Amino acid sequence: MNGADMLVNVFVPAVLAALAWWMPSLTSPTLPFGVRSPYARADDPVVVEQRRQYRRQVAASGAVLITVGVLVSSVFRFGIPGVIPLLTVAACLAAYSRARVAVMAVKQRENWYGGLRQGVVADTALRTDPERFPWLWAVPALLICIGTTVVGVLRYPSLPDRIPVHFTDSGSADRFAARSIGTAFFPVFAQATLTVLLLALTWMSFQARADLDPARPADSARRHRRFSVRTAISLLLLAASADLTLLAGAWAMWHPDQRVSPALSLLPILAGLAVVIGIAVRTGQGGSRMPAQDGAVTEENTGMVRRDDDQYWRLLGSVYVNRADPALLVQKRFGIGWTFNLGNPRGVALLLGIVLAPALIVPLLVH
């Protein structure tokens, strides 16, 4: 089994299955499988049982698919790039869907929100005295982009008429293209596009509305502040690590006489992803796994619960559609991060712009 097959058919499915298995621990206790629930139901028997079944199903399907990936790559020796990871994602989604449906059915049958005071809270201090965006952590990514550009400009005049654009697992070139600005500087343009997108998305998520708990609003506001800063730093570090991987690819293109192992080139971005995942596991979604404040006395419960807003979440609770909500980004119901409000026309336009920008830039560079 070569390195590429090992990465695609074994390592990636293993990481996906591990993240899916851990995902219920990252989300808020009031969102079991994306179903909005009162805090008193966090350890309801149906939630505990469905969490157990979900993890059992994810672990079993992940083990089977990783085994299939090993057999396909090393025994049968025929390539099906990307199929095993896609099947892993599909199996995890099936387990999630089954658990979500079961929890939702019990919630509706037992009327979990009956007689409870629902509410929404906002912390105006998050606007009047916001946390500072950690711009300094964006400097490494910007410096790497500038450095790559300088190296490319210096190397371009001495490049041969045909330059390598693809490499084998051993680092030897096996595909070439005519030298041009588009081909020679493709890694630079990719760096710039990726860096700008990640910086923009990180800044927008940093400004996104806080999902505060009306039962303990002050505690959850403190968690949100630290969660936002740490998550932003991890994403900015991811941008720098991705730029380092692209720099390694550019170096191999611009120095065809020097072999650069593709596996080693991937180490920076893998390290960046490990940092993002590590911080996500430590903080939880919205800071749900963090203490309100080290050494602080826990805030007294107000007796209110979060508003039951399941009606605005479609497609297994993964898509948010609320035309009355002006927010562009809202926190996900399952997992870590943010998603777009597709009920807001600006949110739809922003999502389309992010998706279409790389799709339009790449063909232009190729031609």
The torsion angles phi and psi of 313, rounded to 5 degrees, stand at -110, 120
Buried-state track 69-90, b at ≥16 Cβ within 10 A, e below 16:
bbebbeeeeeebeeebbebbee
pLDDT at 1: 46
Per-residue pLDDT of the chain (367 residues; tens, 9 = 90+): 455 666 778 888 999 999 999 999 888 888 999 999 998 898 999 999 999 999 999 999 999 998 988 887 776 655 566 788 999 999 999 999 999 999 999 999 999 999 999 988 888 888 888 899 999 999 999 999 999 999 999 999 999 888 888 777 667 777 888 888 888 898 999 999 899 989 999 999 998 888 888 988 888 888 889 999 999 999 999 999 999 999 998 998 898 777 777 777 888 999 999 999 899 888 988 888 887 665 556 778 888 999 999 999 998 888 999 999 888 899 888 877 888 999 999 888 888 888 777 666 656 555 5
pTM for this prediction: 0.87
Residue ranges per domain, the chain? Answer: 1-115, 120-308
The pLDDT value recorded for residue 293 is 62
pLDDT of residue 174: 78
